[in-house]
Amino acid sequence: MNGAKPDPITLAVTRGALHQIADEMDLHLIHAAISPIISEMHDCAHGIYDAATGETIAQGGYGLPMFLANMQYTIQNLLSHVAAEGGFQPGDIWIVNDPYLSGSHLQDVTLVAPYFVDGEIFALLANTGHWMDVGGSVPGGWAPQAREIHQEGIIIPPLRLFKRGVRNEEVVRLILANLRLPEQIAGDLAAMTQVFHVGERGLADLIGRYGTRTVRACVEEMMERSERQMRDHIAGIPDGTYRFVDHFDNDGIVDAPLAVEFALSVDGTNMHLDFTGTSPAAIGPLNMAETTTRSLAFVALKHLFPDVPVNGGTFRPIHFEVPEGCMLAARYPAPVCGYTDVINRVIDVVFGALAQAIPEITPAAPFGTTGVTTVSGRRDDGSYYVAVFPYPGGYGASAQGDGLVNGTLPSSLAGFMSVEMSEHRFPLRFENLAIREDSSGPGRHRGGCGTTYEITALKDCLVSVLGDRVDHAPFGISGGGSAEPNRVRFHSGSREWEPEMRSKAEKVPLAPGDSVRLWSPGGGGFGDPRTRDLDAVERDLDQGIVTPECAEAVYGAVVERETNLAGAPRYRLDRAASRRRRSGTART
Amino acid sequence: MENIVGIDVGGTFTDLYYADDEGCRTTTKVPSNPRDPSAALIHALQASDVDPAATALIVHGTTIATNAIIERKGARAALITTRGFRDILELGRRDRPTMYGLGGVQQPLIPRDLRFEVDERLDARGEVLRPLHRDEVLALGTALANEGIEAVVVCFLHAYANPAHEQAAARWLAELDAGFEIVTSHSVCNEYFEFERTSTAAIQGFLQPLVAGYARRLRERLDEGGYRSEALIMQSSGGVVPLDQVAARAANIVRSGPAAGVMAATRLAGEAGFDNIITGDMGGTSFDVAVVVDGTPKVARASRLDFRVILKLPMIDVHTIGAGGGSIAGLDGAGILQVGPESAGADPGPACYGRGGTAPTVTDANVVLGRIDWARPIGAGDQEALDLEAARAAIGDLGKCLDLGVEETAEAILRVVNHTMAGRTRLLSIEQGLDPRDFTFVCFGGAGPLHGAAIMRDVGISRLLVPPEPGVLCATGCCIADIRHDVSRTVERPLGELGDGELDDMLDELRRTGEAHLTASRQQDVTPDVSYTADLCYFGQIHNLRVAIERGWSAERLGGAFEAAYRAEFGNTLADVPATLVSVQAVVSAPPPGRVVRSPGDVVARPATPARRRPVHFGAWLDTAIYDRRALEPGMSFAGPAVVEQADTTTIVEPGMRASVDGFGNLQVEANS
């Protein structure tokens, strides 16, 4: 402890300055990186961390949400390795991409640098950036058939990339020799190390103004206040244990469901998240390291309490039990590159449990599958292309209102390709891109609809799909219904067929005229659909979002008459008869 | 005599700037009238005593388009699309309203039950895969005619590559003479990316009937008042368009006021010798910041007006944060002082307005610290004096929670809000790869000069420029803008495929289109300025770079310019990857008639004499010199702490800074090093 509490003005200014430093680090890498996945998709994160505890002091606001707490846990995992090798020295930069320590997948490479003031360590600066290739059996690193991590790429254990200011060129050569895009990634690596100067300059300014004692006191005060703020939120949740179970369809190799068992306990101002009972690691790559499981749980909580700041204090009241070796705490050598779909279910089960406790702010399940659709082949001029179309989908409804249509993943901010641009660049044709009618989870507030699109091949190509949520639809809460589940169909010649693993298929060949059609899930509903406002039901009918059959059977509405405008049906509900039908049902 | 009136109709105030050969004659601020914006405009003219008969030109910026979008008070419009794609407008590009929190509502400008599909399809080269059928369009149009539809927007896939289907649909719909306006997507935004184009066309359709009505009413009012002068409307690109053409360009006038401010700041700073500036416009509710490099404001190619309401038209790139004089100070969930983004607005306004507001605002902090003279207020309507005690009470209540005194709390509010504005200013320049310390800061708006010195210091900028009439600078900007037309087309072809003369043919066609618009603006007797740009990318990239180009360039020259720009932006090139020419653009512009050109006055170095002195709080109460801006002449200088007062704003010069008046009457403030 550093004695006196900081004055409120210095506290406000210091907090702003620390966030500004982290934001500036984000923007510098986004600007300087060569790989578009960093410069355009912002697949990176930066922050300032406590040197002793690894706790987050500040993290930039431009990186992806999924790194929210991942950075802190990565650094905490790194600390013992560093200590065993003599601790941090001025000018060192450590590097790691071992997913069992640093989470997510091999492509996310983390650098950590100590910041010293007058010979004493003050804080750690860290960043994570997505490398476009890490070797392995498949370019880009996503290997759907991987059965162990070595098929996914090169593992970098915690190593000193810089020792007292000098880069270890031999380590760099060894790493780059194992990658398919060595020049591009050498550039990204240089950009990632340069970003530390931005952070160092910012910290030097701040400490020059207030001194280390005051800045440290502000950091402690910020953490304590964030902790109090998080504890206040938790105290507002009724004590108890809330259980929820959800599933994955299969791991893409063995057709058997995988369970995520979850119990969320609230005891005063503490929260305990227990994943005991979750399926053991899958044979295929549908696994995830514990670091990322924890981070995703915080992403879910941050969606519910967006006002809590991102620092170590926020994470203190939350305790985890993730059994080692289960699919959410995978151990070497389990493959993890399918974590892109696993992340969704962590968010789903947190929502599913908390909906029992605080339904007033918890949304129903969002569409819940990353559903990466990859098309590859050759253009007329012989050049090779890879086109990636990730799933959009519906968000769950909440007490506040209907769910959003065409949302992006809750853990991401990445967008969808333009149809016109795709048709310019790839020999593909979109038959449609539309709201998936009659797919929302019904409720007093209904979920957002899914999205449907059909892609026709103009030349021979290969299509891979990695999705989920076919057998287990996104759930509703507080009496709301489930959304329509995921659906994938191929059309080859005159034959229409579903992949054996439903929404997982690898390298399906399409001939010209063949197509793949996808229907992404909607979001779950909130509340009893028979209490939905009748004007809203009428509007949903006119907009084609629900069918008249559904309006009558599920929403308890009585359609009085149907007209049409230019072929589009228009409905008028009989308000009185609808109310009679709804109350009649209530009596029986 | 040449004279000109600039009027900026803002959300809270309508500002007027009147100049003739002698320079600025008068500035006026009157309350806006949200229900009838043209009434406030006439009111401002009458209040300024501008002789109707002698006014050559009236140029004005307006918020009607922006407000209609935000409040969804535009036309009942229908959308006709290619079969399979009527939902593009609602789907957007897969996103959500905020990074955290999955709630939030979406309200498409055209709801799904008014979106229709017809059978037609073009491919990416514009070749017809399925023809459009006249019967189908006519049947749909006839049905819509009976539905009270005010505008029909037609947007077909790949219409930028071949507009024939959109044009045919528009022609057939017009034959029905059904009373609705017809908008085709290619005529509003002739570029690919179907969501952005559809959204832009929908905005145009949503606004066109409203803006047409506004233009008609304004012309009638001007005629009634005896104003025979030509009227021009400010566009968000920084150029102006004649009133009788504005309906067809309704989407181009969104956020025209802030654009006018940046144009004026650019011009005034350029005259004073500063081509690299950052502008900061602080009003009652927001702080708008923009970057100008080499005398040219940065232009955004697409702007988000609301969630999934994207306008893909060139607009001066103005970034807004919720920090203004009315921003409310309070404690956040962690008990830490925070200012904004909530604002007390115009009603009830800051506590010192005495209209029932009790929340402490930035303006209250300035009053408590003596920076704004409570006894001689500006911009507070017809009030004779501000309620100092109410301001002290509001700030005192907040101070109790922080265990701070009243003045300390007020200082803390200013520090936090100044840091917020300085932080955004730094991020904006860093996002664009620029070092903010290489720039001059130009601050304006009713509250800007109160905070400019502090922002300058926080960002690390060494010079601040405060224009002569900073409180009405957006109105000033209307008077100095060119008549301007932006035209563009998508090419999307490998650079290597471009034949000899093909680029020139495309540029000539753009120039002819732009000149035709100018001719329609009755500017036949001037030679227009024409400049060209091209968007290029490496094959496969999603984002592209815009480079200035010239007629007569070969494909190699174009590729070289792209590589140089790419290297400047990213520090390297992707040498082996072929470049793609994505699109070409032209800006065709000409000065309006009757523009006033200013010449500098004689600069005689001498000290300025304060009008009076009063205590002002800068960390402690200091006896501070108060200057009257009207009495400051070129060459005069003085040291901070000082306060400069004028009818439209108050300027603060902090201790340790020095101010001088340049030949154009700008106040230049520098930090003593």
Question: What is residue A190's three-state secondary structure?
Answer: helix
Rounded to the nearest 10 degrees, the angle between the axes of helix B164-175 and helix B134-145 is 50
B271 contacts B232 by C-beta, under 8 angstroms = no
| Start-end of H helices in A325-418 | 339-357
Q: What is the DSSP string of B277-291?
A: EEEEEE-SS-EEEEE
Q: Do A406 and B90 touch (CB under 8 A)?
A: yes
Query: CB-based burial of residue A383 (10 Å sphere; 0-12 exposed, 13-18 middle, 19+ buried)?
Result: exposed
Question: Which residue in chain A has the smallest CA separation from B578?
Answer: A383
Q: Do A363 and B103 touch (CB under 8 A)?
A: yes
Q: Helix-strand-coil percent breakdown of chain B, rounded to 5? A: 35, 30, 35
Instruction: Give the Cα separation of A192 and A196 in Å (integer).
Output: 7
Instruction: Check CB contact of A11 with chain B, cutoff 8 Å.
Output: yes
CATH class for the region spanning B74-206 = alpha beta
Question: How close B365 comes to chain A (CA, Å)?
Answer: 14
- Predicted pLDDT at B212: 94
A298: pLDDT strictly greater than 90: yes
Alpha-carbon torsion angle A290, A291, A295, A298, nearest 10: 60
Residue whose structure tokens are 């100049």: B19
A401: pLDDT strictly greater than 70: yes
Q: Do A415 and B408 touch (CB under 8 A)?
A: no
Provide CB contacts within 8 A for A492, sequence distance 6+.
Answer: A510, A511, A514
Q: Do A406 and B332 touch (CB under 8 A)?
A: no
Question: Which residue in chain B has the smallest CA separation from A224?
Answer: B334
Instruction: Give the Cα separation of A177 and A516 in Å (integer).
Output: 37
- Predicted pLDDT at B17: 87
Q: Taking CB atoms and an 8 Å cut-off, how many pairs form between chains A and B? A: 191
Question: How close B180 comes to chain A (CA, Å)?
Answer: 17
- Name the nearest CA neighbour of A469 among A456, A481, A482: A482
Name the residue ranges covered by the structural domains of chain A.
8-228, 363-527, 529-587
pTM: 0.90
B598 contacts A60 by C-beta, under 8 angstroms = no
Q: Do B416 and A12 touch (CB under 8 A)?
A: yes
3-state secondary structure A26-80: HHHHHHHCCCHHHHCCCCEEEEEECCCCCCEEEECCCCCHHHCCHHHHHHHHHHH
A556-567 per-position pLDDT tens digit: 999 998 999 888
A residues 303-362 lying closer than 8 A (beta carbon) to B? 303, 306-309
Query: CB-based burial of residue A63 (10 Å sphere; 0-12 exposed, 13-18 middle, 19+ buried)?
Result: buried
A residues 364-403 lying closer than 8 A (beta carbon) to B? 366, 385, 390, 392, 395-396, 398, 400-403
3-state secondary structure A322-334: CCCCECCCCCCCC
Q: Which residue from B113, B333, B408 is facing A542, i.e. has the nearest CB? A: B113
CATH 3.40.50 intervals, chain B: 74-206
Residue whose structure tokens are 């899930």: A521
Instruction: Give the Cα separation of B352 and B355 in Å (integer).
Output: 8
- Predicted pLDDT at A87: 96
What letter would DSSP give residue A278? Answer: P
3-state secondary structure B16-83: EEEEECCEEEEEEEEECCCCCHHHHHHHHHHHCCCCHHHCCEEEEEECHHHHHHHCCCCCCEEEEEEC
Provide CB contacts within 8 A for B656, sequence distance 6+.
Answer: B640, B671, B672
Q: Which residues of chain B have pLDDT under 50?
A: 1, 380
Given the DSSP bridges, would you call strands B337-343 and B440-444 parallel, antiparallel or unpaired? Answer: unpaired
Alpha-carbon torsion angle B151, B154, B160, B162, nearest 10: -130
Q: Do A31 and B433 touch (CB under 8 A)?
A: yes
- Predicted pLDDT at B544: 74
* Rg from Cα positions in chain B: 26
| Mean per-residue pLDDT, A129-138 | 86
B610-655 per-position pLDDT tens digit: 999 999 999 999 999 999 999 999 999 999 899 999 988 999 999 9
Provide the token pair at A527. 């509340």
CB burial readout A238-270, b (16+ within 10 A) else e? eeeebebebbbbbbbbeeeebbbbbbbbbeebe
- Predicted pLDDT at B1: 47
A457 contacts A524 by C-beta, under 8 angstroms = no
Provide the token pair at A415. 């967008």
The 10 Å Cβ neighbour count of residue B270 is 15
The answer to whether the Cα torsion of A430, A435, A436, A441 is positive or negative is positive
- Predicted pLDDT at B520: 67
Question: What is residue B131's three-state secondary structure?
Answer: coil
A2: pLDDT strictly greater than 80: no
Q: Do A9 and B412 touch (CB under 8 A)?
A: yes
Instruction: Check CB contact of A420 with chain B, cutoff 8 Å.
Output: yes
A443-471 per-position pLDDT tens digit: 999 999 999 999 999 999 999 888 999 99
Question: What is residue B671's three-state secondary structure?
Answer: strand
Give the containing element (helix H, strand E) for A221: helix A212-235
B11 contacts B32 by C-beta, under 8 angstroms = yes
Chain B residues whose beta carbon lies within 8 Å of the beta carbon of residue A187: 572
First to last CA, chain B: 46
